Amino acid sequence: MYNQTDLQDKIALVTGAGQGIGLACAKKLAEHGATVIAADINAEGVNHISKELSDLGLAVEPMFVDVIDPTSVSNLACQIIEKYKKIDILVNNAGIVSRYSCEELPLEQWDRVLDTNLRGTHLMIQAFIETMRKQGSGKIVNISSLAGRMAGRRTSPDYAASKAGVMALTKSYANHYSSHKINVNCVAPGLIVTPMTEGRHKPEDVPLGRLGTAQDIANAVYFLSSPLSDYITGTTIDVNGGMYMN
Ligand X SMILES: NC(=O)c1ccc[n+]([C@@H]2O[C@H](COP(=O)([O-])OP(=O)(O)OC[C@H]3O[C@@H](n4cnc5c(N)ncnc54)[C@H](O)[C@@H]3O)[C@@H](O)[C@H]2O)c1
Residues lying near ligand X in the complex (CB under 6 A) are found at 15-16, 18-22, 40-42, 45, 65-68, 93-97, 116, 120, 143, 145-146, 189, 191-192, 194-197
SS3 annotation, the chain: CCCCCCCCCCEEEEECCCCHHHHHHHHHHHHCCCEEEEEECCHHHHHHHHHHHHHCCCCEEEEECCCCCHHHHHHHHHHHHHHHCCCCEEEECCCCCCCCCCCCCCHHHHHHHHHHHHHHHHHHHHHHHHHHHHHCCEEEEEECCHHHHHCCCCCCHHHHHHHHHHHHHHHHHHHHHHHHCEEEEEEEECCECCCCCCCCCCHHHCCCCCCECHHHHHHHHHHHHCHHHCCCCCCEEEECCCCCCC
Nearest distance in Å: CB 136, ligand X? 29
Nearer to ligand X, 96 or 237 (CB): 96
Nearer to ligand X, 149 or 231 (CB): 149
Nearer to ligand X, 16 or 241 (CB): 16
Nearest distance in Å: CB 180, ligand X? 26
Nearest distance in Å: CB 131, ligand X? 20
Catalytic residue among 2, 84, 100, 159: 159
**Residue 2 annotated among the catalytic residues of the structure:** no
Catalytic center residues: 159
